[in-house]
Structure 1
Amino acid sequence: MTAPSFCITVHGTPGPQGSKTRNAAGALYESSAKVKPWREAVKSAALDALAYDDSWMPLNEPVRLDVVFTLQRPRHHYGTGRNAGVLKPSAPEHPTGKPDTDKLLRSTQDALKDAGVLRDDSVVTAVFAAKTYTLAGSDALSHPGAVIRVWRLNKPKETES
C-alpha cells in the first residue's frame, strides 16, 4: 500500500458521538461530555497539519480511514499500595467496554469533515478502527488520543507529457 494522503496524531480523550439524551425541556444533547473536546482536538490537529499544505482540497473521492484510539486503563486494572503502578494479571489486554468503536469513529469523521480533510464522511468507503490501551501495541500512544491515517482509494491519473 502507498503512503497515506493524510496522517495525524491527536492528543486527548477520545469521545463517542451518537447517544442523545433529552433534558426536562425536551431538548436533545450529547450524552457524553467528551464529544465536544474530542472533536475540537481532532479538528485542531487536522488544521495544524493542513496549514503546511496550501494546495490541499477536501477529499471528494473514495478513501480508507484507519484510526487507532488509545484509551487510558481504568484504575481497577492496577494493584493497590506498593503495587499501585503494577498491572494486575487479571487486567484485560484489550478494551471491550465503552466507548463503542463505531461511536468514536462517528465523532472523529465529523471532525475531519469540519477541518476540511474530507468533503463529507460519506466518502469513507473502507475503515479500520481499533481501541487499545496506552503503551499496549502498535500505534498505541503513551497517553489517550488517536493515530489517524487517510488513504485515497482511486488510482492516480497519469499525467500527459
Structure 2
Amino acid sequence: MTAPALTLTVYGTPAPQGSKNRNAHGALYESSAAVKPWREAVKTAALDALHHDDAWTALDGAVWLDVQFSLRRPKHHFGTGRNAGRLKPSAPPYPTSTPDLDKLVRSTQDALKDAGVVADDSVVATLSASKVYVLWGDALRTPGAVIKVWRLTDFLKEPQQ
C-alpha cells in the first residue's frame, strides 16, 4: 500500500469547530474557547513536520484524510474508593457523546489548511475519521490525534493485482 504523504501525531485536547457567535459590535467569534488551542496544536505539528521538507507545497489535488482522535475518558467512567482508577464495567468502549466527530474534523481540516498541508478543505475527496478513548486499542496514551494524508493520485500509480 502507498505510504501517506504526511503523518502527524498531535498532542492536546481535540476541540470541535462549533458554531459562531456575534459580540455586541457584530463581529463573529468561536463559541468554543478550546478550538483555538487545538487548531494551534495541529498547525504547529504540521509546520514542524513540513519544516524538513523544502519541496513541500500545499496539496491541491484530491486527498484522503484519515484522523483518529484520542479523547480522555470522563471521570464518571471510573470507580471510587478502593476501585479508584479502575474502569467501571458499565463504561462504554467508545465515545458517543460530545464532541461531535464531524466538528472535530472541521477544526482539524481548517488547521491543516492554515499550516499549508492542503490548499483548501475542498481537496479532501475521501475521509475516514474515528474517536476513541486514550489507551484503547491503538489510541494515543494522552489526548490528541493521529492524522494521515494521502495523495489519491498515488493510488492510481500502484500496480493492479
User: Which range, TM-score by smaller chain?
Assistant: over 0.9
Is the deviation greater in 39-48 or in 27-36? 27-36
Give SS of 2:153's match: coil
Q: Tell me how far 1:5 sits from its aligned partner.
A: 0.3
Partner of 2:149: 150
Moved more, 127-136 or 19-28: 19-28
Structure 1: runs of 5 or more not aligned: none
Amino acid at match of 1:148: I
Deviations 1:85-114 (A, max 9, x none): 000000000001000000000010010010
Offset, 1:117: 0.5
Alignment of 1:11-160 (within 5 A): 11-138=11-138, 140-155=139-154
Q: Distance in 1 between matches of 2:148 and 2:47?
A: 14
Residues of 2 paired with 1:20 and 1:75: CA distance? 29
1:36 match: secondary structure: helix
When the two chains are superposed, the root-mean-square deviation of aligned CA atoms in Å is 1.6
Count of paired positions: 157
Counterpart amino acid of residue 57 in structure 1: T
SS of the residue corresponding to residue 89 of structure 1 reads: coil
For 1:89 and 1:157, the matched residues in 2 are separated by 46
What whole-Å deviation, never above 9, does each CA across 1:46-76 have from its counterpart, x for those lacking one?
0000011010010010000000000000000
Q: Match of 2:110, SS?
A: helix
Could you tell me how far apart the structure 1 residues matched to 2:155 and 2:98 are?
Answer: 39
Percent identity of equivalent pairs: 68
1:28, distance to aligned residue in structure 2 (A)? 3.0
Query: Secondary structure of 1:147's partner?
Result: strand
Q: Which structure 2 segments of 5+ residues have no match?
A: none
Could you say if the C-alpha distance between residues 9 and 82 of structure 1 is closer, same or farther in structure 2, counting changes exceeding 3 Å?
Answer: same
| Structure 2 SS opposite 1:154 | helix
Q: Is this contact kept in 1: 2:2–2:155, CA < 8 A? A: no
State the shift of 1:25 in Å: 4.8
Q: Which amino acid in 2 is paired with 1:149?
A: K
Deviation at 1:21, TM superposition (A): 2.8
Cα distance in 1 for residues equivalent to 2:154 and 2:49? 24
**Greater displacement, 149-158 / 79-88:** 149-158
